């Protein structure tokens, strides 16, 4: 995107599409088009805030006061309870420089293992599945433009028309080129309306549905046996599991007609080229990683991987959702997508950081375990770029844990619901006010240039970390984005996500700002737009089938809670809404939460359009107006999750997590539905 001066008002900036950029080619959704409203000082934090005594209100403070206070509280808590009593919770929207610095700050300054981030709620299941199958996690291992040139797409759990409209043009082009689109979603969304075939499974049954499609490939001799033999391993165990999932059994479990299961399998297997693309709908489950591996198994069995216009990919949601997990924000990783338990990785990164490998802590707790530990093992927490009071599952529980902390510091652009609970709030720069790098969903590393001067009183997150590090006895912590990225590049050298051939200067010089795809291991390396064409990232170069099964959800509907709740996004809002709920036109388009009900369900509970409806689970309840629609299953309720207050959908969701990835089970909870009288 580009920022341009409004011709009618030279003082105002407008966001516009960048026609030459090869991904969105000038297209923006309404969130991007209105994003300059967030640069208005009136909606911003411009001074640090301190809660000087327990129970008092937040008050304006100087930067020195805020940094001194935060450092003193962190030091006191670490001295009294040990370094592991301090934690960090980051965000997938942070630049590489910030994400990397948070990881380094945790391990070098705080010397705590406890750092994780909200990307655990977004991409962790797909990341874990990709690592198991391919040895590499990169959202799309091919450019997004390849989507338009494949013959069939199986899109699972994604409503791109609302969540990523500029990307939808490639799917439209794919169909105009004669391709076919199969969408898997419990709701008939605007994306599903464009599909040639729409499968509407019961939420939480994706692994069984994928196994059913694979069963058809096996039973009808549609498996690409030559590809399986030459480029994969482990198929026989997967074959045995899939044979248990004949289409009629799948229909009984998933609610998808057996004929549609067979039709989808035949279309997918019969195409020359094809892709499986997953998103949060299938990933945010208690078996999220297994469900994704079930879809990857289907792609591998059909031979749809390891060649042009074929493959598996995960649709990345947050602005730096890919890069945010590559360079040290995750509890178990070091920069370059290195495992923190790998002695060679520890030695390399410790050398870049100038510390001994033994000084680096081991793995910490994934996001939900970290948040659940607040007020107990974790006594102090720094939050940067996240609003878990709205975005985390079982949000009332999470809020109670944050309130139980001895000290909470928050870095944010606005006074979010999480910042309102803090003891110190640091006002930080946002996207247009800072230079930094990000990696998009296709592994393309981009330089985002500073366009405007931040308001007086606002500093970068890097400055916050540098100020705290100095006060905590580690002076010289890097705060220049270019210098931080140069160190990140050295730290990533030789890792899976190798950025060592990149720099701010090289990215700035890239044609039309196109960026370069990782891995990019040398200054003269052209980058790697397409992975796996010659071999996969596993030790033997073969993709791995992963034998997975389907188990009923931990929380199935019952007499007291007879329906399923699933959650998701809407076009005019984003994530926890902390920013988009402050944009006038977006609020006008989508002013609040709602409960989508099928007419049969609405009739069963006596709800009419617009009636206030209470959705209750074992954890809590949310109240919002009813929207009655035939586009959802009659046994399922949908709520968007962008709002706080009575309509907070995450008051109802489960904090149960996938044991492989730590992904919470946002997408299915047993609920009852009542009209609020």
CATH of the domain at 161: 3.40.228.10
How does DSSP assign 40-74, residue by residue? -GGGS--S-EE--STTPPPEE--HHHHHHHHHHHH
Q: What is the mean predicted confidence (pLDDT) over 39-58?
A: 91
Could you read off the pLDDT of 397-445 as tens digits, one per residue? Answer: 999 999 999 999 999 999 999 999 999 999 999 999 999 999 999 999 9
Which residue matches tokens 């107990």?
376
pLDDT in tens, 275-325: 999 999 999 999 999 999 999 999 999 999 999 999 999 998 778 888 888
Tens of pLDDT, residues 362-387: 999 999 999 999 999 999 999 999 99
State yes or no: pLDDT of 7 exceeds 70. no
Three-class SS state of 265: helix
Residue 551 has pLDDT above 90, yes or no: no
Query: What are 59-113's pLDDT values in tens digits?
Result: 999 999 999 999 999 999 999 999 999 999 999 999 999 999 999 999 999 999 9
* Distance from C-alpha of 353 to C-alpha of 150, rounded to nearest angstrom: 44
CA dihedral 376, 657, 305, 548 (to 10 degrees): 130
- How confident is residue 628, by pLDDT bands cut at 50, 70 and 90? very high
Q: Examine the pLDDT at 8 and tell me if it is beyond 80.
A: no
Q: How far is CA 290 from the centre of its chain?
A: 17
- Identify the bridge partners of residue 363 per DSSP, sorted by sequence position: none
Q: Residue 572's domain is classified under what CATH number?
A: 2.40.40.20
C-alpha distance across the termini of the chain, in Å: 47
Q: Can you tell me the distance from the alpha carbon of 278 to that of 139, in angstroms, rounded to the nearest whole number? A: 10
Last residue of a domain, one of 250, 280, 315: 315
Residues 458 and 311 in one domain: no
Q: How far is CA 432 from CA 23, 400, 514, 565, in A?
A: 20, 34, 18, 37
Tell me: do 302 and 155 sit in the same domain.
yes
* Residue 209 located in a structural domain: yes
Which of residues 265, 287, 315 is at a domain's end? 315
Same domain, 163 and 261: yes
**Mean pLDDT over residues 473-489, rounded?**
98
Nearest to 48 by CA among 466, 380, 418, 459: 459
Tell me, yes or no, whether 510 lies in a domain.
Answer: no
Residue 506 lies in a domain: no
CB 428 within 8 A of CB 458: yes
The 10s digit of each residue's pLDDT in 312-361 is 999 987 788 888 888 989 999 999 999 999 999 999 999 999 999 999 99
Mean pLDDT of 643-668: 96
544: in domain: no
Q: For residue 662, what pLDDT band results from cuts at 50, 70 and 90? A: very high
CB-based burial of residue 150 (10 Å sphere; 0-12 exposed, 13-18 middle, 19+ buried)? buried
Residue 542 lies in a domain: no
> How many other C-beta atoms can be found within 10 angstroms of the C-beta atom of residue 635?
16
Asked if residues 206 and 184 have their Cβ atoms less than 8 Å apart, the reply is yes
What DSSP assignment string belongs to 388-430? HHHHSSSHHHHHHHHHT-SEEEEEESS--TTGGG-SEEEEB--
Confidence bin at 9 (pLDDT 50/70/90)? low
| Length of the chain, in residues | 677
Same domain, 129 and 113: no
Average pLDDT on 462-476 reads 98
**Which CATH number does the domain housing residue 454 bear?**
3.40.50.740
DSSP 113: S
**pLDDT grade for 5, boundaries at 50, 70 and 90:** confident
Q: How many CB atoms lie within 10 A of CB 492?
A: 32
Q: Are residues 139 and 219 in the same domain?
A: yes
Where is pLDDT greater, at 19 or 317? 19
Residues 6+ apart with CB under 8 A from 59: 49, 50, 51, 52
Q: What is the mean pLDDT of residues 567-576?
A: 93
Q: Which domain holds residue 15?
A: 2-33
Same domain? 106 vs 213: no
The pLDDT of residue 106: 98
Instruction: Indicate whether 278 and 255 sit together in one domain.
Output: yes
Say whether both 330 and 371 belong to one domain: yes
545 in a domain, yes or no?
no
Angle between helices 247-254 and 206-219 (to 10 degrees): 170
Q: Are strands 612-616 and 669-675 parallel, antiparallel or unpaired?
A: antiparallel
The structure's pTM equals 0.96
Query: What is the per-residue pLDDT for 512?
Result: 66
DSSP 8-state code for residue 180: E
Please give the tally of structural domains in the chain: 4
Q: Identify whether residues 193 and 141 lie together within a single domain.
A: yes
Cis amide linkage into residue 519, ω under 30° from 0: yes
> Do 210 and 345 have their domain in common?
no
550 lies in some domain:
no
Domain boundary among the residues 281, 315, 349 is at 315
* Distance separating alpha carbons of residues 540 and 544, to the nearest angstrom: 10
- Over 90: is that where the pLDDT of 12 sits? no
Q: What pLDDT, in 10s, does the model give residues 178-232?
A: 999 999 999 999 999 999 999 999 999 999 999 999 999 999 999 999 999 999 9
Residue 473 pLDDT: 97
361 and 489: one domain? yes
Mean pLDDT of the chain: 95
Same domain, 248 and 339: no
**pLDDT of 6 above 80:** no
* Residues with Cβ within 8 Å of residue 15, at least 6 apart in sequence: 1, 2, 3, 4, 28, 32, 33, 34, 35, 36
Beta carbons of 162 and 193 less than 8 angstroms apart: no
Contacts of 8 (CB under 8 A, 6+ apart): none
Residue 41 lies in a domain: no
Mean pLDDT for 527-556 is: 94
**Angle ∠(642,1,443) on CA atoms, nearest 5:** 80
- Summarize the confidence of residues 552-557 as an average pLDDT: 87
């Amino acid at each position: 995107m580009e920022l341009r001066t409004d011709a009618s008002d030279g003082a105002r900036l407008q966001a516009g599409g960048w026609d030459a950029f090869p991904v969105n080619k000038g297209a923006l959704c309404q969130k991007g088009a209105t994003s300059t409203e967030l640069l208005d000082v009136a909606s911003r934090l411009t001074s640090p805030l301190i809660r000087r005594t327990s129970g008092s209100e937040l008050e304006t403070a100087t930067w020195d006061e805020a940094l001194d206070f935060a450092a003193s509280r962190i030091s006191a808590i670490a001295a009294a309870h040990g370094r592991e009593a301090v934690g960090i919770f980051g965000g997938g929207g942070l630049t590489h420089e910030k994400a990397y610095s948070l990881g380094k700050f945790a391990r070098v300054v705080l010397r705590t293992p406890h750092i994780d981030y909200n990307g655990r709620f977004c991409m962790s299941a797909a990341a874990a599945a990709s690592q198991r199958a391919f040895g590499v996690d990169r959202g799309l291992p091919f450019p997004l433009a390849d989507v338009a040139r494949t013959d069939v797409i199986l899109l699972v759990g994604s409503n791109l028309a609302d969540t990523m409209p500029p990307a939808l043009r490639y799917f439209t082009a794919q169909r105009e080129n004669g391709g076919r689109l199969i969408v898997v979603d419990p709701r008939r969304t605007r994306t599903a309306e464009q599909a040639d075939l729409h499968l509407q499974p019961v939420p939480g049954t994706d692994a069984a549905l994928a196994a059913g499609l694979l069963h058809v490939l096996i039973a009808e001799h549609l498996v690409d046996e030559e590809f399986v033999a030459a480029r994969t391993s482990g198929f026989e165990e997967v074959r045995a599991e899939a044979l248990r999932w004949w289409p009629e059994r799948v229909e009984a479990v998933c609610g998808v007609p057996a004929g549609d299961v067979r039709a989808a399998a035949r279309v997918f297997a019969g195409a020359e080229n094809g892709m499986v693309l997953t998103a949060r709908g299938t990933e945010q489950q208690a078996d999220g990683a297994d469900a994704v591996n079930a879809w990857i198994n289907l792609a591998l069995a059909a031979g749809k991987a390891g060649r042009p216009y074929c493959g598996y990919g995960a649709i990345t949601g947050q602005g730096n959702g890919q890069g945010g997990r590559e360079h040290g924000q995750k509890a178990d990783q070091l920069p370059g997508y290195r495992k923190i338990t790998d002695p060679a990785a520890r030695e390399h990164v410790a050398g870049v950081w100038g510390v001994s490998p033994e000084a680096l802590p081991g793995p910490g707790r994934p996001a939900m375990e970290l948040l659940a530990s607040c007020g107990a093992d974790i006594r102090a927490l720094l939050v940067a770029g996240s609003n878990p009071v709205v975005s985390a599952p079982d949000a009332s529980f999470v809020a109670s844990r944050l309130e139980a902390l001895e000290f909470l510091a928050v870095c944010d652009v606005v006074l979010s619901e999480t910042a309102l609970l803090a003891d110190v709030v640091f006002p930080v720069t946002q996207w247009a006010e800072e230079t930094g790098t990000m990696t998009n969903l296709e592994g393309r590393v981009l330089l985002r240039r500073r366009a405007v001067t931040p308001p007086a009183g606002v500093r970068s997150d890097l400055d916050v970390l540098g100020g705290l590090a100095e006060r905590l006895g580690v002076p010289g912590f890097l705060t220049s984005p270019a210098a931080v990225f140069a160190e990140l590049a050295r730290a990533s050298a030789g890792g899976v996500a190798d950025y060592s051939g990149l720099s701010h200067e090289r990215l700035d010089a890239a044609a039309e700002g196109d960026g370069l795809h990782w891995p990019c291991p040398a200054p003269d390396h052209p980058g790697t737009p397409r992975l796996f064409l010659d071999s996969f990232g596993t030790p033997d170069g073969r993709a791995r089938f992963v034998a997975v099964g389907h188990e009923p959800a931990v929380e199935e509907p019952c007499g007291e809670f007879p329906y399923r709740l699933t959650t998701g996004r809407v076009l005019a809002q984003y994530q926890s809404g902390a920013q988009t709920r402050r944009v006038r036109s977006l609020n006008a388009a989508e002013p609040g939460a709602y409960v989508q009900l099928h007419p049969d369900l609405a009739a069963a509970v006596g709800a009419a359009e617009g009636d206030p409806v209470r959705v209750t689970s074992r954890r809590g309840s949310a109240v919002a107006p009813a929207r009655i629609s035939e586009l959802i299953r009659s046994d399922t309720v949908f709520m968007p999750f962008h709002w706080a207050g009575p309509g907070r959908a995450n008051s109802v969701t489960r904090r149960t997590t996938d044991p492989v990835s730590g992904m919470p089970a946002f997408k299915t909870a047993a609920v009852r539905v009542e009209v609020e009288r």
